[in-house]
Structure 1
Amino acid sequence: MSTSDKICELADAVQRRSAWKKAGEQVVFTNGCFDILHLGHVDYLEKARQTGTKMIVGVNSDASVRALKGPERPVNTEYARARLIASLQFVDLVIVFNEETPLELINQLLPDILVKGDDYTIDTIVGAKEVIAAGGHVKTIPLVPSYSTTGIIQKLKQ
């Protein structure tokens, strides 16, 4: 499967998730902007995948990133960011979403495991109560200190 084949629309992702569920796979979901891919992202995504057997990553669209991060972001287009995330061997599927949060994706996919970084608490993770209500689990992953896209951008501007 090529990296571009891992990028799909929500309807296709729901079908693939259903097939994985029938096959007994433990599906992990996480999301982010992933504007400039760095060690923190790779470490986080690799650890997230280790919590299950398949992983779906929601990537914020360009409009969504602008709404969250401001008019100068994203640095890279949504297609470029989605392809980079899809190229990681431990990522099975990528969905670009336009909303500020991935709640619609989570409600449609109902992953077995919802993962975010430990800069969140379970009660602040979007979709946590829905995943738990459906019998799933919510986990946080320790982040690599001193790695952030904002930090990289600030360093480049200096």
Structure 2
Amino acid sequence: MLPSQAKICTLPDLLDKVAEWRTQGQKLVFTNGCFDIVHVGHVDYLERARLLGDKLILGLNTDQSVSRLKGPSRPLQDEMSRQRVMASFWFVDAVVLFDEETPYELIKAVQPDVLVKGDDYSIDTIVGHDLVLERGGEVKTIPLVKGYSTSQVVARILGT
């Protein structure tokens, strides 16, 4: 198994890793997204998120979840491909799929120390902020790289 493949987890596997990391005193950061076409904005965001703690856990929307959120023409890459790409980054320590509309139940299970989203969100609109703050954790936003989004990349490819 390649090192990146070892980072792809089922929820039970992830919870075992989380328990181990906690016994080691690691600070756990959580974020989530579709990550359909990875671009420099994603890389910058995720690397900055990882710097907020010791381990970065990434909740990745399943194909069905992406389609419900973004429409029937998405995702452009299947979930297996998206998992492998995201797991290949040094700053991502675990990737787990979730199929729900939001990662609320996943956040509830993981109980991260830090919950992160881009600055296109406010703290009170970040799903799971209540769970993390109740436990004494932090909820943070990270400035996004202007001019980069998957929708913009798709539009450029299509020439629209």
Report the TM-score range of the alignment, normalised by the length of the smaller protein.
over 0.9
User: In the alignment, which residue of structure 1 is the partner of 2:127?
Assistant: 126
User: In the alignment, which residue of structure 2 is the partner of 1:99?
Assistant: 100
Q: Write the distance in 1 (CA, Å) between the matches of 2:19 and 2:139.
A: 19
Q: Number of aligned residue pairs: give it.
A: 158
User: In the alignment, which residue of structure 2 is the partner of 1:32?
Assistant: 33
Moved over 3 A (4+): none
Map 1:77-116 to 2 at 5 A: 77-116=78-117
Could you report, residue by residue, the CA deviation over 1:51-95 in whole angstroms, capped at 9, with x for unpaired residues? 001110011000000000000000000010111000000110000
Q: Write the distance in 2 (CA, Å) between the matches of 1:142 and 1:21.
A: 28
Q: Write the distance in 2 (CA, Å) between the matches of 1:137 and 1:12.
A: 24
User: In the alignment, which residue of structure 2 is the partner of 1:70?
Assistant: 71
Structure 2 residue matching 1:18: 3-state secondary structure = helix
TM-score using structure 1 length: 0.98
TM-score using structure 2 length: 0.97
Name the amino acid aligned to 1:156: I
Structure 1 residue matching 2:9: 3-state secondary structure = coil
Structure 2 residue matching 1:55: 3-state secondary structure = strand
Aligned-pair identity in percent equals 54
Could you report, residue by residue, the CA deviation over 1:3-51 in whole angstroms, capped at 9, with x for unpaired residues? 1110011111111111111111000000000000100000000000000
